[in-house]
Amino acid sequence: MLYLVPSPIGNLGDITYRAVEVLRTADLILAEDTRTSAVLLRHYGIGQPLTAYHQHNEHRIVDGLVEQLKAGKTMALLTDAGTPGVSDPGFLLVRAAVRADIQVTCLPGATAFVPALVNSGIPMNRFVFEGFLPLKKGRQTLLKQLAEESRTLVLYESPLRLLKTLAELITWLGADRPCCVSRELTKLFEENRRGTLQEVHDYFREKGSVKGEIVIVVGPPAP
């Protein structure tokens, strides 16, 4: 059995009872960053074996993990924050497990884009999640495609690239599109900045440096 276990995106209290139980009974916990996951596991008194599973080693170790699963081990996959596989490692192992007829279960739980979308005040009946935009190759092509999109857009971004991405969205989508930038979700200094793309860009330009993982929600064009 392979369990995909969502981990809190900030507040350690945002984990389900079921997730804690799965982590306590797993034969092995796979962690994107063992140091980050160790904080969560210590908080809940979980002492199961822990090993690293991330984008730099997943291709090398995935076959061995599948063999352990086929031998009867139960594993729980954790990423640093949120649900494994959503802009985080996980897909490669899930695909390999499914192909090997291993049971895969994903627990419901934390993921950053859902609260950001819901509290944005922007229509959410139809939306498209793009995760992180490509850094170089394909970036302009994707932005051109998104300019034709009629649904609400949801993106992830890092603090260092926030202003650049907002400026590009203004160029491709228009300065007046409704926008909400959420950061530090569930934490003490959570911030949700709403306005037009131009207003939100200007706010963060004046604010200067920002911290925390960021979700950008952009509303659809006016009819």
pLDDT tens digits, residue range 41-75?
Answer: 999 999 999 999 999 999 999 999 999 999 999 99
Residue 222 has pLDDT above 90, yes or no: no
Q: Which residues contact 104 (CB under 8 A, 6 or more apart)?
A: 1, 2, 4, 94, 97, 98
Report, in angstroms and rounded to the nearest whole number, the Rg of the chain calculated over CA atoms. Answer: 19
User: Could you write out the DSSP letters of every residue in 53-66?
Assistant: --TTTHHHHHHHHH
Residues in the chain: 223
Mean pLDDT of all residues in 154-161: 96
pTM of structure: 0.92
Q: Candidates 3.30.70.3340, 3.40.1010.10, 3.20.20.140, 3.60.40.10; correct CATH number of 2-106?
A: 3.40.1010.10
Distance CA 184, CA 168 (A): 23
> Which alpha helices (H) appear in the chain, and where do they start and end?
17-25, 34-43, 58-70, 91-99, 113-118, 139-146, 162-173, 197-207
Q: Provide the 8-state DSSP code for 82.
A: B
Per-domain boundaries in the chain: 2-106, 113-218
DSSP-assigned beta bridge partners for residue 182: 192, 215
CA 12, 87, 95, 59 torsion-angle sign: negative
Tokens 């604010």, located at residue: 207
Q: In this predicted model, what pLDDT tens digit does every residue of 162-211 receive, in sequence order?
A: 999 999 999 999 999 999 999 999 999 999 999 999 999 999 999 988 99
Mean pLDDT (the chain) is 96
Whether 79 and 7 have beta carbons less than 8 Å apart is answered as yes
Whether 46 and 27 have beta carbons less than 8 Å apart is answered as no
Tokens 């369990």, located at residue: 3
Topology, domain 113-218:
3.30.950
Q: How large a percentage of the chain has pLDDT more than 70?
A: 100
Residue 92 confidence (pLDDT): 96
